[in-house]
Structure 1
Amino acid sequence: MRLWTVTEPWGPEGLTLDETADPMPGRGEVRVRLRAASLNYRDLLIVRGRHVGGALKHGAPIIPIGDGCGVIDMVGEGVEQHQIGDRVIPLMVPNWRSGPVSPAKMAGALGLHSPGLARELAVFPERHLIKAPSYLSDSEAACLACAALTAWSALFEGPGLRPGDVAVIQGTGSVSLAVLQFAKAAGLRTIVTSSSDDKLASVLALGANHGINYRTVPNWAGAVRDLTDGVGADFVLDMGAVGSLSESLRAIRMEGQIAVVGILEGGSAIDPAQFLASAARIRGITVGSAEMFDAMVRALTHHEIHPVVGTVLPWTEAPAAFEMLSDGNQFGKIVLEF
C-alpha cells in the first residue's frame, strides 16, 4: 500500500509518498480501505512539526491526518461489531470512550501519537470505529471525527443552551461552519464574524442570522451588544486569534460561556479584570469522546445535516491540499479522495 509520511524538516513540502506492505488484522481487529480523508488545522500544525508547543520535535516520521472514512475489507478473528463492507469512521481520539478528558484518554490520537489516515489501508481494533451515517457521501463522512465533533462538544457538552439563545461564531473554518449548522438545528440565534464579505454572504445563505466583518467593524463585540439589546451573547466560539479572547469577553453576557477551540498565530492575552467583570465560563475544547460521537451522529442523522465540503482533491495531491489549507482562503472542508 501507499502512504504519506512527514518528518524533520517539517512542512507540507516534506511530505513523502512511500510504499509498504499491506497490513493484516489480528484478533478483534478490522482492516479499513480508506475512501476519503479531510484536513483540519491541527493536521497542518502536525505537518509543520509544532502541534501543541512542538510535540513532534523527536523527529520520528508521522503518517498525518486524523479525520476520514473508509470501508472494512478484512476482519480478524473474534470481530463482532463490524463486518466486511461496513462503511466506518475511525475515532480520532480512540481511547476517550466517555466521561471527562484526561492525558491517558488523549494518548493515541490519530496522525499524532499513532499513524494517521493518509494511507490506503489501516488496521484498527473494532471498538475504535463508528459506523458512518448512510445518508452522507464518503467525503462528507470524512469530516466528522475532528471538526464536527469539536463543534458538538463546544456547543452541547457545557452548560445547556436553549432555543433562542445567541451564539457568536468566530470565522468560517470547518469547526465554525459545523457550529453554525448545529446551532441552527438547535434553534439558536447565530452571529458570525469574518474578514470576508463573500464568506459572510455564504454563511448567511447557510442560515446564519447576522454577519459582522471584523475588518470594517474591529469592535465587533460592540456590534454584538447592539444586536442583543446590550445584553451580550450566551455563547462565543473563540478561535484563539490575536485579541479574540479579549473581544469575546466584551461580547459575552454575564455568566455566558466561551468555548476556545483555535490555536491560531500569535495567541490571545486577556486582562484578568475583564475576565472577572464578565463572570464568563471559559472552556478549552479538545475534540470529544466516543459517547459524544454517538450522540452527534444521532443528531446529524435526525436533521440530515451535511458537512460543508469546499474542495475535493485526489489523495495523491496531499501536499497541494496542505498548502491550500495554509493559505486560509478556502470555504468548507478540504477533502482527499482515494
Structure 2
Amino acid sequence: MKAMQLTAFGADNLVIADVATPSLKANEVLVNIKAVSLNYLDLILLNGTFNGDLVFPYIPASDGAGVVTAVGADVSRWKPGDKVVIQYVQNWTHGSIDAAGNAVRVAWQTPGVLSEYTAVPEHGLVKMPANLSFEEAATLPIAALTAWYGLIEQAGLRPGQTVLTQGTGGVSLFALQIAKAAGAKVIATTSSEAKAAQLKALGADAVINYNQYPAWHEQVKALNGGEGVDITMDVVGSATIGESLLSVKENGFVGTAGFIAGPELPLDIHRHRINLNFIRIQGLAVGSVSAFAAMNRAIEVNDIHPVIDSVYPLEQTREAYLRLASGKHVGKIVITLS
C-alpha cells in the first residue's frame, strides 16, 4: 500500500512510500482510508515541538474516515463495506477517562492514518454519519469531538445559554455549530472583518474583532446584557486564558482545548475572579467512543456539515501542512487518498 511517511522532523521530510498492508489480529478491522484531516497536534508532532516519542519512519495524522475491507476472526461489530471513522483515543470507550483508556492514541502509540489502509481494534471505530462525505467525516475525531465533549458532556450546555468561541479553527467552528444546534446564543472572536462575515454566515449571533478590542471580555459582556457567558472554549492558551476567565459569569465553564499561543496558563485567582465567581476550568482532549456515537447522531439529525477550508491529494501533503502552519485557514484541512 501507499503511505505517507515522515523520515525526520520537518515538512521537507514527508515522502510517499510503498509499505506492507497491515496484517489483522483476531480483534482488528482493516480500514481503507479515504480521507484524513489535519490538526494542530499533527503540526507540532511533525516539527518535533511536541514530545510524541516518534520512531522514524513514521506515518502521521490521527483523523481518518474510510471503508471496512476485512475483519479479524473475533470481530462482531463490523463487516466489509461499513463506513467508519477512527476513534483517536483508542481504548476510551465510555464514561470518564482513566489510565487504561488514555494509554493509546492514534499516531502516538500507533501508526497514523495517512495511508491507504490501517488496522484498528474493533472498539476503536465509530459509524460514519450518513449525511457526510468521507472528507467531511474525516474532520470529526479530534476537533468535533473535543467541542462536543466540552460543551455537551462536560459543561452541560442547555438551550438559551450563551457560548463564547475563539477564531475559525476546527474546534471553535464545531463548537459554534454544535451550540447553535443546541439552541444557544454564540459570540465569537476573530482577527478580521472577512472572518467575522464567515462566522456570522455560520450562525454566530455576534462577532468581536480582538485586534480592535484587546480587552475583549468587556465587549462580550456588552453584547450579552452586561453579564458574562455561560461557557467558553479556550483554544489559544497563554495569550487568551485571562480574557476567557473574565468573559464568563458566576459558575461559568472555561474549557482549555488548545495551546496555539503556548501551554502555560498565567492565572490570577483574584483578578480573574476564579474563586469569587466559582469558575470551573476544565482540561479537554476529545471524548469517548460513546460520546462520538452520540455526536454523530446529532450531526445526522441536525444535518450539520463540517467547514472544510481546503482539500489536497496525498501527493500534496506537504502543502496541506504548510496551509495549516500559515494560520490562514477557516475550518479543516483535508487530504484525500482515493
Q: Kindly provide the amino acid, as one letter, of the partner of residue 327 in structure 1.
A: S
Spell out, residue by residue over 1:54-105, the C-alpha distance to the aligned partner (whole angstroms, 9 max, x if none).
233x654431111111111222323221111111111111111112223332
Residue identity (%):
39
Q: Deviations over 1:317-337 (max 9, x none)?
A: 111101110001011211011
| 1:29 matched residue in structure 2 | 28
Partner of residue 110 from structure 1, selected from 102, 106, 113: 106
Matched letter for residue 15 of structure 1 = L
Query: Which of 175, 182, 204 matches 1:186?
Result: 182
Per the alignment, residue 334 of structure 1 pairs with: 333
The answer for unaligned runs of 5 or more in structure 1 is: none
Identify the residue that residue 13 of structure 1 maps to in structure 2.
Answer: 12
Q: Residue 247 of structure 1 aligns to which amino acid in structure 2? A: E
1:69 aligns with: 65
One-letter amino acid of the counterpart of residue 217, structure 1: Y
User: Matched residue of 1:198: which SS?
Assistant: helix
Query: 1:23-172, aligned counterparts within 5 Å?
Result: 23-51=22-50, 54-56=51-53, 59-172=55-168
Tell me what 1:269 maps to. 266
Are 1:212 and 2:208 an aligned pair? Answer: yes
Using the alignment, how far apart are the partners of 2:289 and 2:127 within structure 1? Answer: 12
Partners in 2 of 1:148 and 1:334 — Cα distance? 13
Distance 1:258 1:3 in 2: 39
Contact 2:176/2:186 (8 A) holds in 1: yes
Instruction: Compute the displacement of 1:28 (Å).
Output: 2.7
Query: Which region of structure 1 is more displaced relative to structure 2, 117-126 or 238-247?
Result: 238-247
C-alpha change, 1:107 and 1:61, in structure 2 (3 Å) is farther
Check the 8 A contact 1:33/1:71 in 2, yes or no.
Answer: yes
Residue by residue over 1:140-168, the C-alpha shift from the partner in whole angstroms, topping out at 9 and shown as x without a partner, is 11111111100101101124222111100
Give the residue type in structure 2 aligned to 1:270.
Answer: L
Matched letter for residue 330 of structure 2: F
Deviations 1:247-284 (A, max 9, x none): 11111101110011011133441212222233210101
| Residue aligning to 1:173 | 169
Q: Distance in 1 between matches of 2:30 and 2:144?
A: 24
Counterpart amino acid of residue 224 in structure 2: T
SS in 1 for 2:105: coil
In structure 2, what residue type is equivalent to 1:165? Q
Give the aligned residue type for 1:237.
M
The amino acid that maps onto 1:313 is Y
Equivalenced residue count is 334
Structure 1 SS opposite 2:154: coil
**Against the structure 1 CA distance between its residues 197 and 103, is the aligned structure 2 distance closer, same or farther, given a 3 Å change threshold?**
farther
TM-score (norm 2): 0.95
- The answer to whether structure 1 residue 251 and structure 2 residue 263 are counterparts is no
- What TM-score comes out, normalization by structure 1 length? 0.95
For 1:172, the aligned partner's letter is: T
Once the 2 structures are TM-superposed, how far is the Cα of residue 242 of structure 1 from its aligned partner? 3.6
Look up the equivalent residue of 1:6 and give its one-letter code: L
CA contact (8 A) 2:7 2:15 kept: no
The alpha carbon displacement at 1:113 in A equals: 1.5
User: Matches of 1:126 and 1:110 in 2, distance apart?
Assistant: 14
Q: Provide closer, same or farther for how the CA distance between residues 84 and 59 of structure 1 changes in structure 2, counting only shifts above 3 A.
A: closer
Select between 253-262 and 93-102 the one with higher mean Cα deviation: 93-102
Q: Distance in 1 between matches of 2:211 and 2:149?
A: 29
Aligned counterpart in structure 2 of residue 225 of structure 1, from 221, 228, 232: 221
User: Structure 1 residues 22, 78: CA separation in 2 closer, same or farther (over 3 Å shift)?
Assistant: same
Structure 2 SS opposite 1:291: helix
What is the alpha-carbon distance in structure 2 between the residues aligned to residue 285 and residue 171 of structure 1?
18
Structure 1 range deviating more: 60-69 or 146-155: 60-69
Q: Distance in 2 between matches of 1:249 and 1:75?
A: 48
Residue type of the alignment partner of 2:276? A
SS in structure 2 at match of 1:157? helix
Amino acid at match of 2:269: P
Q: Conserved in 2, the CA contact under 8 Å of 1:46 and 1:112?
A: no
Q: Partners of 2:121 and 2:172 in 1: how far apart?
A: 31
Could you tell me which amino acid in structure 2 is paired with residue 55 of structure 1?
Answer: G
